[in-house]
Amino acid sequence: MNLLGNIIWLIFGGFFTFIGYMTGGLACCLTIIGIPFGLQLFKIGILTLMPFGTQVRERPGSSGCLAAVMNIIWILFGGIWIALGHLLFGFLLAITIIGIPFARQHFKLLTLTFTPFGKELYYP
């Protein structure tokens, strides 16, 4: 079922979202200061490529001060707008019964895009 969900996700915008996150990650990695943020964009891009069957969880031992500071910088410089976009799409998809599984994936992306530092992708 995850394979079918990922295929439908890719056809209806997931691939273009993946390309957008990867392009943003490459642009951030052009500067030394932007490399940590670019790596987080790559992580989000990988999740947008195959969201079904993937879990987002806290990385063990990464609840330190640096992750908190980086998350605050992320939120201030655009993370809030990315998260709000996924929240909006999640609500719009949740209106229909067919869209509920895709809305759940947008809510999963919301948790990662709001505070990506200190989180990891888990493939059970």
Domain count, the chain: 1
Tokens of 5: 């969900």
Task: Count the neighbouring beta carbons within 10 Å of the beta carbon of residue 7.
Answer: 13
- The pLDDT profile of the chain, 124 residues, written as one tens digit per residue, is 889 999 999 999 999 999 999 999 999 999 999 999 999 999 999 999 999 999 999 888 767 788 899 999 999 999 999 999 999 999 999 999 999 999 999 999 999 999 999 999 998 8
The domain in which residue 68 lies consists of: 2-122
